[in-house]
Amino acid sequence: MPRLPPELVGIVVDHISDCKTLTSCSLAARVFRFSAQRRLLTALALDDGANETTVPGSDLEWGPKARTYAEAAQRFSESPHLAGYVLELSIVPPTTEESVVAARQIFAALTRVRIARISGAPLMSMTWREWDELPASSAAAVLDWLGTYTGGSGRRLSYLTLKGWGLPLQVMHRALRAPSELLSFWDSRFQHADTAEDAHDESTPTCGPKSIDTFRSPGLFALLVQPQFRQYAANLQHLHVNLGTPSNDPDLATFSHLLAVSVDTLQSLIISFYGTEVVENVSIPLPRTFPKLKQLNIYVYNQHITGPLPQSWVVANLLRDMLLPAATPVLAQVAFKIRWESVDGRVATAPVCPCFAELLDGRLAAHPCIRKVGWRDMVDDFIDIVAQDAERHCTEFEALLKEALPRTVEKGLLEISRNSNWK
């Protein structure tokens, strides 16, 4: 065979699972170079000083490391075609004038990026910083780049994540216009308009993300219901929110305001309660009806569904209202992820609280449109530590769950997935 078929080359490269082997393959034979380089550069990370950071989004074990802006600019200058391979870009904004110049060159070359992550700290860090602390030239370079994905340019990001920021209004306007599919906020804080001048919008929103995902980012809901951002909320189709402890989370009240704004367009809703505290007589005020909501996902710690529980608490009150046919007339799928904690490698299995089981089973079985009720137990630990006990736990709890939801089981709605580590 004088030449390997392109299909075979692609299959060989796709089966390589680590960065080192893929790099060697690229250097060893010209026939593999294109496919190997394309896969190596699909996900690119840029950070002035974090070259030991693995690139988020890469499917490679021990994946490619973050590059400095100077390194990437030089590489793309030498081989311009390589920039066309990059589909996912993760950055910590540049901090020096030299890096800013390089960043602008890189941003101009990257014309095919569809997924972007902008972090306020080293890429794997849990800290955050104020956007206003960035050098003015750095902030301008990033905002100008985001601006190329808005307006009449015809270019759109599919996904944009902002992680670890204190975000001013100017950045929020630009961020909400850039992605067409999903905008995520992780570990972020938000400035609010204090004056009429601050509240002035750049223009009437004509587009925005279909989905918003938020994690540990207090204040976002209150921001999105302000007049200048309200239209973005009114166009949302999918919403994933993380709510904290009901006794001290101010977002519970503003979350209900956000639901009221987005209720006419919302098709799927994911609510994660990441606290373990169960507080009696706490409710989230809801709209009377969600006319387009087809999917509802609830993620909670097991303390919210097992053991002795009061007659009224936030999860029960939420489901009591949302699972009524009048409230969700087209709801087809409901999914639960229950997060269990392990102690010394063992999971303490407990049955579903009888009062909660009766409420849930009655609502699910009586709803005329629900066709699937998914259920997954997740263990809050490294899965290899608890793997053996997790299997025991899942087997035991599956039996308890079926016993607790007999009408749901009888209608063939319940689908139980086996354990995986919490994500």
pLDDT at 58: 45
Tokens found for residue 386: 């608890």
Residues of the chain with pLDDT under 50: 1, 4, 6-13, 15-16, 22, 27-28, 31, 50-55, 57-63, 195-200, 421-423
Select from 346, 254, 360, 345 the least CA-distant residue to 300.
Answer: 360
pTM: 0.85
Q: What pLDDT sits at residue 138?
A: 96
Residue 291 contacts by C-beta under 8 Å, 6 or more apart in sequence?
Answer: 263, 264, 329, 330
Residues 385 and 266: their CA atoms lie apart, in Å, by 39
What lies within 8 Å, CB to CB, of 410 at 6+ separation is 365
Contact between residue 70 and residue 102 where contact means Cβ atoms under 8 Å apart: yes
In 56-163, DSSP assigns E strands to 88-91, 115-119, 129-130, 157-163
- Buried b / exposed e across 31-61, counting CB within 10 Å, b at 16+? ebebbbbbbbbbbbbbbbebeebbbbbbebe
Give the pLDDT confidence of 211-269 residue by residue, as tens digits: 999 988 888 999 999 999 999 999 999 999 998 766 656 778 899 999 999 999 999 99
> How far is it, in rounded angstroms, from Cα 218 to Cα 185?
10
Question: Which pLDDT score, from 0 to 100, does residue 206 have?
Answer: 59
In 380-421, DSSP assigns E strands to 414-421
Helix or strand run (H / E) with residue 179: strand 179-186
Q: Which stretches does DSSP call E strand in 217-354?
A: 238-243, 268-273, 295-301, 333-340, 342-343, 346-347
CA 84 to chain CA centroid, nearest Å? 26
Q: What is the sign, positive or negative, of the torsion defined by CA atoms of 191, 208, 185, 268?
A: positive
Integer CA distances (angstroms), 221 to 24, 163, 203, 212, 246, in order: 48, 17, 21, 11, 16
Could you give the CA distance from residue 396 to residue 403 in angstroms, rounded to a whole number? 11
Kindly give the pairing relationship between strand 295-301 and strand 268-273: parallel
pLDDT, position 286: 95
Give the per-residue pLDDT at 389: 77
Q: What digits encode the pLDDT tens for the residues 270-318? A: 999 878 888 888 889 999 999 999 999 999 999 999 988 988 899 999 9
- Cα Rg, the chain, nearest whole Å: 24
Taking residue 305's Cβ as centre, other Cβ atoms within 10 Å add up to: 23
